[in-house]
Structure 1
Amino acid sequence: MFSRIVVALNDLPESQRALRTAIDLAQNFNAALATVSILGDLPAYTSFAVVVDPAAPIALKEDRRQIQRALHEGAARLAQEHGVVATSAIVEGRDTQSILHFLKEYEADLLVIGLHQHDFYLSRLWSSVYDLAQEASCSVLGVH
């Protein structure tokens, strides 16, 4: 049924539940698994850091990239423990557009995402989930 599964990663517990679900699905369907995360733009306030240290934004972005790499390495280890090989990608750009582009490039047939239950994320979350579900070139599975 599914041959190319993508799971969206971040550092929240919901994402880890989505990862475990994606690993189970990949194992059951003998599917390829890819993890993807977004290296978003730095917050606006970091522009003030340039006054103190012109290299600060570069260092901050590299720190964020290192955190993402560690997240993907942990996901790959967990997948391997279950007999699944996972590839990884860190994409840049707008949240949904970056993921949509990756889905097309990877030729995914399922995107697994963690549904965050925090009240202050709710409107942003459902806007992003709706955009993904409407525009994705594949099925979308939300995991609580």
Structure 2
Amino acid sequence: MFRKIAVAYNESPESERALLSAIRLTKSLAAELSTITVAADLPAYTAFASATDPDLTRVLKDDRLDFYEGLQRKALAMAHDHNVEVTSHIVEGHDVAAIVDFLRKQHADLLVIGLHQRDLYIARLWSTVYELAQEAPCSILGVH
């Protein structure tokens, strides 16, 4: 069945629900669990701001890394509360491409993702979840 489970994890409540479901599934299947967090690029205005303070880019990158490492610590704590081991990964790049690349490299069997509630049907057509469903090299479990 599923031996290598990955969960897309960020600061959203949807991804936290996905992580909890992935933890429970991992435990019931005696599988391996990995979290993947895609680090967002620094805003474009950073280039302008760094002209006034050359250290600003480094400070913003350090703050961004601290934020994502804090998310990973939260995921580790949640998994440990359920006696599940988890390996955490932070990657950079476009959301979909970075996750798909991770899934291929890790040979994941299942990707667990949190589903956002959308009001407009048209908004679903360009969503990250829809793109992942088209590109992922493994099965996907969407969690409400």
* 8 A contact 1:113–1:143 mirrored in 2: yes
Matched, 1:77 2:102: no
Q: Distance in 1 between matches of 2:119 and 2:65?
A: 27
Whole-angstrom CA distance in 2 between matches of 1:124 and 1:57: 34
C-alpha displacement at 1:117, in angstroms?
A: 2.4
User: Where do 5+ consecutive residues of structure 1 fail to align?
Assistant: none
Which 5+ residue runs of structure 2 have no aligned equivalent? none
Q: What is the aligned partner in structure 1 of residue 2 from structure 2?
A: 2
Distance 1:45 1:16 in 2: 30
For 2:28, the equivalent position in structure 1 comes to 28
Aligned equivalents of 1:31 and 1:130: distance in 2? 26
- State the TM-score, normalized to the length of structure 2: 0.92
Structure having the larger proportion of residues in helix? 1
Asked if the contact 1:116–1:125 (Cα under 8 Å) also holds between the matched residues in 2, the reply is no
Kept in 1: contact 2:118–2:124 (CA 8 A): no
RMSD of the alignment, in Å?
1.8
Counterpart in 2 of 1:107? Answer: 107
**Which residue in 2 is equivalent to 1:39?**
39
In the alignment, is the contact (CA less than 8 A) between 1:4 and 1:31 conserved in 2? Answer: yes
- The percent identity for this pair of structures is 52
1:98-118 per-position Cα deviation (integer Å, ceiling 9, x unaligned): 000000111101101111226
- Which residue number corresponds to residue 65 of structure 1? 65
Secondary structure, aligned partner of 2:129: helix
Determine helix, strand or coil for the equivalent of 1:11: coil
Name the aligned partner's letter for residue 127 of structure 2. Answer: S
Q: Which moved more, 1:109-118 or 1:70-79?
A: 109-118
Query: How many equivalent residue pairs?
Result: 143
